[in-house]
Structure 1
């Protein structure tokens, strides 16, 4: 990957970020449209994406000899956490609303902060911690509101939270690899690992791998192309031009976009509690990211963006 790329015009960057946000917002819609098991949807989504990426990975000629056995092991672990993310989050949509599930996903930066503090002793500011507390309050409001709807909705909220925790662990592992593993190959490899994990999972459970109608195969392909390639892979590519904090702000756009699409395409209504809690979470996460990005700005001020943080970008939510 070249370090001497010409900067993109601001309007182009903005257009690409908006495109990515819209693309990942469709993920929950496609999942709701499908009648296939979540584990099957996730497996084909990952395998189809790997197939689409294959030619580009081949052309990039990544230097794999430089990778140690521990690098390969950590990539495998990262892929397994990615599989857990998809398993929990996609399953959550069978229990709770698109709004509740995707709003809880916005807690991803908060959980990453907690993990980074525990694993890497990374510090943050008091204002960022305030944003963290507000976001957690918002998530609690969603859970409290969904208890009033049904225990089933609360189960979906907990599954979404588990999926968010899994993706946070995936990104923290990726952070350890970001300076050593090319971004494109990293994404390709972890998609293969996660897809293989789902293959084993489905075989162990006796879940049918084939026999689905043409409509379902179309949804599997849409999941690979729209939210994954035009969403997550696009965000990883943008890390060549903007820092990870800027791209990570997209996490605030997904619940908004997904909720609007669910209203238009699934006839889902947004409750007053969900709306209020969503605003609380989004404000809390925005405030946290605004006051936590000083550390990143200092780290990146004098460094060109290479593979740094590419593996820890927002490429796997939703």
Structure 2
């Protein structure tokens, strides 16, 4: 069963809200006392008991095939979280953020050829404007350096895994609620992340309140309110437009840095933000 996605403005605003929640992830990861992959592991693990009371009755109606696909979606998300976190060890934060946001380059052609999402030439104009805006926003921070190549490659792989996660959830939303998708996929994520952290960082257990608070914040803000709300909107907004709006995450992260850490916003960064927002507006107005 295919559901109709009309890209209504209220759902567009919810996608932006979900990106606002997701953008808190970098701050909370920075506040965490645990290594980054362990932090990602607990972010997802702690979301499971929070979601369980809302979905346990509906779990009995999910067939085995859908369980497997949801578990696979979780594996894709684990690939995104782990590769992105590891990339920070080899490249700059700016490079990692920019390359990890190349998701639309994967989502848009797949949505066009496989999901038959019709696009106009104006959508591509809006997409190009948005990408230019993001590049301008990040240009003062990007560090083109041969030594960063491996980290840049990992960040680029991150976008492939996240695109795979978005596309899988997008098709699941034709018949399954976002809460169930996030609950079941969480098991695929924690299973995969546990293997990665065991190999790379070792097992770290949060033992104090300062250890726990950022992890609980990540579970609520990033995993449930961020990824969960985005998963809900994937049943209301086309995958192409959703992935394009995800490019606004560096904008929101820059605002957070300005408010919380007193980071200066340069003229180029402000110009990039304006171009990016205008590009999303054009893309939204012209999807058919």
* TM-score normalized with structure 1 length: 0.70
1:96 matched to 2:92? The reply is yes
Q: Is the 8 A contact 1:31 1:90 kept in 2?
A: no
Output the CA distance in 2 between the equivalents of 1:47 and 1:272: 41
1:189 matched to 2:187? The reply is no
Q: Is the 8 A contact 1:103 1:278 kept in 2?
A: no
Output the CA distance in 1 between the equivalents of 2:107 and 2:233: 21
Q: Quote the residue 2:26 is aligned against.
A: 28
Q: Quote the residue 2:260 is aligned against.
A: 265
Unpaired segments ≥5 residues, structure 1: 1-9, 295-318
Change beyond 3 A, Cα 1:275–1:159 = farther
Output the CA distance in 1 between the equivalents of 2:162 and 2:136: 22
Number of paired residues?
A: 278
* TM-score normalized with structure 2 length: 0.76
* 2:275 alignment partner, SS class: helix
Counterpart pick for 2:127 among 116, 123, 132: 132
Output the CA distance in 1 between the equivalents of 2:160 and 2:119: 19
* 1:74 alignment partner, SS class: helix
Q: Is the 8 A contact 2:170 2:234 kept in 1?
A: no
Q: Quote the residue 2:225 is aligned against.
A: 230
Which runs of structure 2 are paired with 1:108-187 in the superposition (5 Å)?
Answer: 108-120=103-115, 122-141=117-136, 145-148=140-143, 159-187=154-182
1:201 matched to 2:196? The reply is yes
Q: Is the 8 A contact 2:96 2:155 kept in 1?
A: yes
Q: Is the 8 A contact 1:17 1:250 kept in 2?
A: yes
1:39: how far off?
1.0
Output the CA distance in 1 between the equivalents of 2:207 and 2:147: 27
Change beyond 3 A, Cα 1:245–1:148 = same
Unpaired segments ≥5 residues, structure 2: 1-8
* 2:263 alignment partner, SS class: coil
Output the CA distance in 2 between the equivalents of 1:228 and 1:185: 13
1:210 matched to 2:208? The reply is no
Q: Is the 8 A contact 2:100 2:157 kept in 1?
A: no
Counterpart pick for 2:49 among 26, 48, 51: 51
